């Protein structure tokens, strides 16, 4: 049994039980895991700042160290986000900071209130749509290199959604890479993932369990179209739920328009309109108060998950409804959603893709963020014999968020 | 089994009963005769026992998939179902597999597994793993773990089978009673055999009462109703036919060997007698607590001591068959007076007792009795129309159960664990604690009673208020208070808190109460004490 105690950002204590009961105690301070034996502990000579009673159940005490006394990495996590001390900038921060590098336009990665933003060109219209026109924003291209206080930075395609990027940082000869959200499979809309070799690899782990093995995108597009065709034949509308930015465009690009017409929820159309600014066009007519009911008969309607159980949805009757998400891999999640079908269409890496990325980057140290970070980091250590630890972030591990 | 896979998917993918019945009917019309009974058995929840150790299953899955055991375990916490976890973890097939296995062959294999050496078991299981994928693989694993459930009620299966056979539903329901084995039956033996001759062991389908959901005054004249105390034992049927005795429980388990007290009835009652009643331990002229019954049922060997400590009787309330004749159509008052006569004439001793018909001057007085039911060793009242026939299954109108209010207590949420199935990956299984000298002592778990919306809110709260993780269990800051209801409470040496609750569930989330105002262990002990007072 392992139990872990979270006592504030950067501090973790966990206890591993052996056959005799309590065996090893580990302390993890930020991303350092330290083994404690017989109550005597040394963490790089750092000073104990606090002793806490771990658990009444185990009657164990543990010591907490000040993170700042530990050897410094280029990147670390503090209360505002993923921080680069040398460059004094943040990546996808969750509290207002001076300089924010943004991997992509989903709201858990791109938040309001930063003094300045740096993101890929194709994320610019999304930022304008969601955070307003009055931000100080700088767009960069994939592969374009720039420097902040000696840290060399470049953005590389992450394959997650349009404009999504992995961010590569080089300092004193060491290469750091933060993936943001990413996938290796090609969706035909976003710029495909580019392999970037690095020393330190910071990866998400949304689907970091071996039960998540997604079918090929192609087979999912086929089953979506077959289902739409079946519904259309019966004169029933087909509603597909997917996140307005990313999933919706992914669906629209592969819908077989010979089956029928395509209609959009306003939130999806807003994103599509914004993306025209950077040269993308997608099929679909926005549903408005004037849309005639008989015009949508047998059509495909793309809406965000938040449209579920709304009066808006009821106006689309008769319909069958499906959720497009990696979570649909599990029966329980599918049934809980209360939809007619679940399509395992994801914009994240599945288990195999995560593993391939870890191997191919040839990183010597892996840091795991949002998702199943405990399991995936332990797996990476055991399987590949490279260092792996956890970056506790506030990114959403739910794949789709509410609009 | 591909047709059964499609049937399962059709049932699983819909919430509409009409779609489910249509899917079952379509299956019955096209499936191989030898498969039908196996499908029906599965649909009705009559599945083969788990033939192997799930620990072995985990090890084999780990070796086949190269996923370490700890990671299978972690995945299982998230998926909430071992069979599904293994199905998803096994490496995908290089090319589509086409071998179709009949349901019958599959069941044969499952049963054969039980008597195999582990190495043989492993070979057979991994052989199937390499041949099956998708839903078929999932269903196979569900059979291996012994918990395959299909989302249809027994009522719906009966409906589809009745439509298929062109018979009435009560008749089909009767034929499908008992834990029949698809290995020993075929469509003819199950549905054509003479009930009195070939199926003399079979019980009648139980008639079940609805909970009274209106003012009893609306039932009209009290004289039209027979009112009995609702006892807390096990509903059963005593059958004497062809010189043999059968005692069936409402769960359709044959209990004849466990309920040895009834053995003399074989020679006492005439052939062709079926009595419906409550099996309950009885001592010194009083029924005993249900917990006594529970320990009695759990015994494998019924020693003299056990018999003396918990002697069973049946409190009889209905007569379904007399002199070999099905009399379920008779009005209740007629069946009851015949029953009364039988119990008076035949030397049934203390084994069979007549359920007492109570007379109250008004519904208000009945209500008083109901509220105090526990003091009268009852859990409420049964209200049955005197002219009612003995119907099949749960039907509204003629029979009502009017239970006493459950006991309630306010507990603090201290541990949470994620649920299974539809509740997988959602913290829905809670452990609650009460105060004991300034400390919180866990005293019960409860799973049901909250709305989906509340579950999501609390799940989110738990994730943000976790103190520690113990495998799948999280301890949380003790802040949330819930009102819990339960049907019974007893002192227990097996539980840390010293009490054991019967059928605990959540009534509501007390958002108005801080943890400090939750109940105490003393309150629980008082509940036990007040119950015992009445027994003395």
Lowest mean pLDDT among A53-62, A287-296, B9-18, B264-273: A53-62
The DSSP code sequence of B46-84 is --PPP-S-HHHHHHHHHHHHT--HHHHHHHHHHHS-HHH
| CATH class in words for B207-403 | alpha beta
Cβ-Cβ contacts under 8 Å, A55 against chain B = 468
* B80 CB within 8 Å of a chain A CB: yes
Residue ranges of domains in chain B: 2-145, 207-403, 407-534
Q: Which of A15, A214, A330 to mutate to test the interface with B (most CBs of B within 10 A)?
A: A330
Q: To the nearest whole percent, how much of chain B has pLDDT over 70? A: 97
State the pLDDT confidence band at A400, using cuts at 50, 70 and 90. Answer: very low
* Cross-chain Cβ contact B471/A213 below 8 Å: no
Q: Is B498 exposed, middle or buried (0-12, 13-18, 19+ CB in 10 A)?
A: middle
Res A73: pLDDT: 81
* Cross-chain Cβ contact B84/A375 below 8 Å: no
Res A4: pLDDT: 40
Gap from B463 CA to chain A (nearest CA, Å): 11
A181 and A103 in contact (C-beta within 8 Å)? yes
Cβ-Cβ contacts under 8 Å, B421 against chain A = 331-332, 335
Q: Is the pLDDT of residue B460 over 60?
A: yes
* Cross-chain Cβ contact B422/A332 below 8 Å: yes
Gap from A215 CA to chain B (nearest CA, Å): 10
Q: Which of B11, B74, B417 to mutate to test the interface with A (most CBs of A within 10 A)?
A: B74
* Cross-chain Cβ contact A331/B84 below 8 Å: yes
State the pLDDT confidence band at B297, using cuts at 50, 70 and 90. Answer: confident
* B355 CB within 8 Å of a chain A CB: no
Q: Is the pLDDT of residue A33 over 60?
A: no
Cβ-Cβ contacts under 8 Å, B468 against chain A = 3-5, 55
Gap from B79 CA to chain A (nearest CA, Å): 7
Q: B residues 118-137 near A, CB within 8 Å?
A: none
A137 and A117 in contact (C-beta within 8 Å)? yes
Nearest to B425 among A5, A332, A341 (CB): A332
Res B422: pLDDT: 64
Highest mean pLDDT pick, A54-68, A153-167, B255-269, B431-445: A153-167
Nearest to B425 among A210, A333, A341 (CB): A333
User: Which tens digit of pLDDT belongs to each residue from B376-432?
Assistant: 889 999 999 999 999 998 888 999 999 998 889 999 999 999 877 666 678 889 999
Please give the CATH topology (third level) of the domain spanning B2-145: DNA ligase i, domain 1 (1.10.3260)
* B470 DSSP assignment: E
* Cross-chain Cβ contact B79/A330 below 8 Å: yes
3-state secondary structure chain A: CEEEEECCCCEEEEEEEECCEEEEEEEEECCEEEEEECCECCCCCCCEEEEEEEECCCCEEEEEECHHHCCCCCEEEECCEEEECCCCEEECCCCCCCEEECCCCCCCCCCCCCCEEEEEHHHHHHHHHHHCCCCCEEEECECCEEEECCEEEEEEECCCCCCCEEEEEEECCEEEEECCCCCCCCCCCCCCCCCCCCCEEEEEECCCCCCCCCCCHHHHHHHHHHHHHHHHHCCCEEEEECCCCCHHHHHHHHCCCCCCCEEECHHHHHHHHHHHCCCCCCCCEECCCCCCHHHHCCCEEEECHHHCCCHHHHCCCCEEEEEECHHHHCHHHHHHHCCCEEECCCCCCCHHHHHHHHHHHCCCEEEEEEECHHHHHHHHHHHHCCEEEECCCCCCCCCCCCC
Q: Is the pLDDT of residue A249 over 70?
A: yes
Lowest mean pLDDT among A383-387, B364-368, B495-499: B495-499
Lowest mean pLDDT among A254-263, B144-153, B187-196: B187-196
* B82 CB within 8 Å of a chain A CB: no
* B468 CB within 8 Å of a chain A CB: yes
Q: What does residue A302 show for φ and ψ, rounded to 5 degrees?
A: -105, 125
Q: Is the pLDDT of residue B222 over 70?
A: yes
Q: Check if B207-403 and B407-534 are the same fold.
A: no
Residue B385 and residue B209: Cα distance in Å, rounded? Answer: 11
Nearest to B422 among A335, A378, A379 (CB): A335
Rg value, chain A, Cα:
23
Cβ-Cβ contacts under 8 Å, A376 against chain B = none
Find the closest chain B residue to A374 by CA distance: B74
Strands A365-371 and A200-205: what pairing? parallel
Cα angle for residues A114, A117, A121 (degrees, 5° grid): 150
Res A165: pLDDT: 98
Q: Which residues of A touch B (CB under 8 A)?
A: 1-6, 55, 209-213, 329-333, 335-336, 340-341, 372, 375, 378-379, 382
Q: To the nearest whole percent, how much of chain A has pLDDT over 70? A: 80
- As beta bridge partners, residue A15 has A3, A25
Q: To the nearest whole percent, how much of chain B has pLDDT over 90? A: 59
B446 and B505 in contact (C-beta within 8 Å)? yes
Query: How distant, in Å, are the alpha carbons of A135, A325, A328, B122, B242 from that of A398?
Result: 28, 10, 12, 37, 64
State the pLDDT confidence band at A28, using cuts at 50, 70 and 90. Answer: very low
* Cross-chain Cβ contact B468/A5 below 8 Å: yes
Q: How many alpha carbons lie under 13 Å from residue A185 in its C-beta half-sphere?
A: 20
Measured over all CA atoms, what is the biggest interatomic distance in chain B, rounded to whole angstroms?
Answer: 77
Q: Which of B66, B422, B426 to mutate to test the interface with A (most CBs of A within 10 A)?
A: B422
* Cross-chain Cβ contact B470/A1 below 8 Å: yes
A237 and A316 in contact (C-beta within 8 Å)? yes
State the pLDDT confidence band at B47, using cuts at 50, 70 and 90. Answer: confident
**Is the preceding omega at residue A318 within 30 degrees of 0, hence cis?**
yes
* B464 CB within 8 Å of a chain A CB: no
Cβ-Cβ contacts under 8 Å, B14 against chain A = 340
Nearest to A211 among B70, B88, B452 (CB): B88
Instruction: Select from B26, B190, B12, B182 the least CA-distant residue to B106.
Output: B182
Q: Which of A2, A26, A331, A377 to mutate to test the interface with B (most CBs of B within 10 A)?
A: A331
Q: Is the pLDDT of residue B277 over 70?
A: yes
Res A397: pLDDT: 56
Cβ-Cβ contacts under 8 Å, A331 against chain B = 12, 81, 84, 138, 421, 424
* Cross-chain Cβ contact B85/A211 below 8 Å: yes
Task: Indicate the average pLDDT of chain B.
Answer: 90
Res B369: pLDDT: 92
Lowest mean pLDDT among A17-26, A124-133, A240-249, B387-396: A17-26
The residue count of chain B comes to 536
Q: Which two tokens stand for residue B416?
A: 């949470």
User: Which tens digit of pLDDT belongs to each residue from B263-273?
Assistant: 999 999 999 99
Architecture of domain B407-534: Beta Barrel (2.40)
Find the closest chain A residue to B138 by CA distance: A331
Res B14: pLDDT: 80
Nearest to B421 among A212, A329, A332 (CB): A332
Q: Which of B75, B90, B93, B150 to mutate to test the interface with A (most CBs of A within 10 A)?
A: B75
State the pLDDT confidence band at A59, using cuts at 50, 70 and 90. Answer: very low
Q: What does residue B236 show for φ and ψ, rounded to 5 degrees?
A: -150, 170
Find the closest chain B residue to A16 by CA distance: B470
Q: How many alpha carbons lie under 13 Å from residue A395 in its C-beta half-sphere?
A: 31
Cβ-Cβ contacts under 8 Å, B423 against chain A = 332, 336
Q: Is the pLDDT of residue A12 over 80?
A: no
Gap from A147 CA to chain B (nearest CA, Å): 38
């Amino acid at each position: 049994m392992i139990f872990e105690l979270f006592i504030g950002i950067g501090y973790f204590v966990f206890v591993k039980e052996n056959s005799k009961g309590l065996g090893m105690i580990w302390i993890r301070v930020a991303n350092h895991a330290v083994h404690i034996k017989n109550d005597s502990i040394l963490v790089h000579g750092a000073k104990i700042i606090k002793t806490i009673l771990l658990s009444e159940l185990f009657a164990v005490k543990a010591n907490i160290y000040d993170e700042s006394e530990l050897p410094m990495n280029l990147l670390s996590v503090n209360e505002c986000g993923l921080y680069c001390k040398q460059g004094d900038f943040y990546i996808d921060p969750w509290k207002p900071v001076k300089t924010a590098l943004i991997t992509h336009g989903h709201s858990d990665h791109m938040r309001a209130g930063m003094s300045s933003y740096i993101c890929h060109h194709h994320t610019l219209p999304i930022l304008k749509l969601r955070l307003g026109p009055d931000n100080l924003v700088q767009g960069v291209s994939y592969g374009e290199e720039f420097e902040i206080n000696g840290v060399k930075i470049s953005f590389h395609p992450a394959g997650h959604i349009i404009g999504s990027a992995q961010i590569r940082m080089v300092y004193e000869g060491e290469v750091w890479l933060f993936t943001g959200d990413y996938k290796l499979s090609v969706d035909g809309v976003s710029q495909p993932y580019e392999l970037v070799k690095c020393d330190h690899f910071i990866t998400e782990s949304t689907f970091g369990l071996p039960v998540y093995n997604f079918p090929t995108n192609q087979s999912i597009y086929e089953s979506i179209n077959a289902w739409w065709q079946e519904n259309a034949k019966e004169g029933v509308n087909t509603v597909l739920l997917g996140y307005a930015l990313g999933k919706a465009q992914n669906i629209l690009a592969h819908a077989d328009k010979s089956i029928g017409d395509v209609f959009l929820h306003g939130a999806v159309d807003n994103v599509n309109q914004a993306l025209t600014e950077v040269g993308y066009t997608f099929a679909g007519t926005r549903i408005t108060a004037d849309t005639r009911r008989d015009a949508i008969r047998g059509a495909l309607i793309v809406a965000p998950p938040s449209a579920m159980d709304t009066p808006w949805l009821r106006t689309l009757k008769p319909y069958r409804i499906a959720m497009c998400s990696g979570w649909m891999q599990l029966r329980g999640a599918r049934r809980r959603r209360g939809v007619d079908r679940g399509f395992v269409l994801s914009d994240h890496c599945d288990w195999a893709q995560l593993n391939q990325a870890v191997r191919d980057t040839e990183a010597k140290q892996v840091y795991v963020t949002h998702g199943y970070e405990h399991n995936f980091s332990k797996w990476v250590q055991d399987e590949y014999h490279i260092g792996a630890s956890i970056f506790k972030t506030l990114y959403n591990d739910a794949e789709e968020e509410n609009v | 089994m591909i047709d059964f896979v499609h049937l399962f998917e059709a049932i699983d993918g819909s919430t509409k009963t009409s779609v489910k019945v249509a899917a079952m009917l379509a299956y019955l019309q096209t499936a191989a005769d030898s498969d039908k009974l196996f499908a029906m058995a599965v649909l009705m929840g009559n599945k083969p026992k788990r033939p192997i150790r799930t620990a072995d299953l985990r090890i084999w899955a780990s070796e086949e998939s190269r996923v370490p055991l700890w990671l299978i375990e972690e995945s299982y916490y998230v998926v909430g179902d071992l069979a599904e976890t293994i199905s998803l973890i096994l490496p995908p097939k290089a090319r589509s597999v086409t071998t179709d296995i009949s349901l019958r062959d599959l069941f044969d294999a499952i049963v054969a597994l039980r008597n195999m050496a582990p190495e043989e078991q492993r070979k057979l299981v991994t052989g199937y793993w390499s041949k099956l994928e998708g839903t078929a693989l999932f269903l196979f694993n569900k059979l291996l773990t012994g918990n395959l459930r299909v989302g249809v009620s027994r009522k719906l299966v009966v409906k589809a089978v009745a439509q298929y056979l062109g018979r009435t539903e009560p008749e089909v329901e009767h034929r499908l009673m008992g834990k029949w084995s698809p290995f020993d039956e075929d469509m003819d033996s199950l549905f054509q055999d003479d009930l009195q001759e070939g199926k003399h062991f079979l019980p009648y389908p139980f008639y079940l009462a609805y909970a009274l959901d209106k003012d009893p005054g609306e039932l009209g004249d009290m004289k039209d109703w027979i009112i009995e105390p609702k006892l807390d034992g096990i509903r059963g049927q005593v059958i004497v036919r062809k010189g043999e005795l059968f005692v069936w429980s409402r769960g359709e388990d044959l209990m004849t060997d466990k309920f040895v007290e009834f053995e003399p009835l074989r020679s006492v009652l005439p052939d062709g007698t079926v009595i419906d009643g409550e099996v309950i331990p009885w001592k010194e002229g009083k029924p005993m607590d249900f917990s006594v019954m529970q320990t009695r049922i759990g015994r494998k060997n019924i020693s003299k001591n056990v018999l003396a400590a918990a002697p069973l009787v049946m409190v009889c309330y209905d007569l379904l068959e007399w002199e070999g004749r099905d009399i379920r159509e008779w009005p209740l008052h007629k069946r009851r007076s015949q029953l009364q006569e039988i119990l008076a004439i035949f030397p049934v001793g203390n084994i069979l007792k007549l359920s007492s018909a109570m007379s109250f001057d008004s519904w208000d007085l009945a209500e008083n009795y109901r509220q105090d039911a526990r003091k009268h060793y009852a859990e409420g009242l049964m209200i049955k129309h005197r002219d009612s026939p003995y119907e099949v299954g749960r039907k509204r109108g003629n029979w009502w159960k009017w239970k006493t209010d459950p006991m309630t207590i306010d507990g603090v949420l201290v541990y949470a664990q994620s649920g299974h199935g539809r509740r997988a990956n959602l913290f829905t299984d809670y452990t609650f604690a009460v105060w004991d000298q300034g400390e919180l002592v866990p005293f019960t778990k409860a799973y049901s009673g909250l709305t989906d919306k509340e579950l999501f809110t609390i799940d989110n709260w738990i994730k943000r208020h976790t103190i520690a993780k113990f495998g799948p269990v999280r301890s949380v800051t003790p802040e949330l208070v819930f009102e819990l209801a339960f049907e019974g409470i007893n002192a227990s040496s097996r539980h840390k808190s010293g009490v054991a609750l019967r059928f605990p569930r959540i009534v509501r989330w007390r958002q108005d109460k801080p943890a400090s105002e939750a109940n105490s262990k003393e309150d629980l002990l008082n509940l036990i004490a007040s119950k015992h007072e009445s027994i003395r």
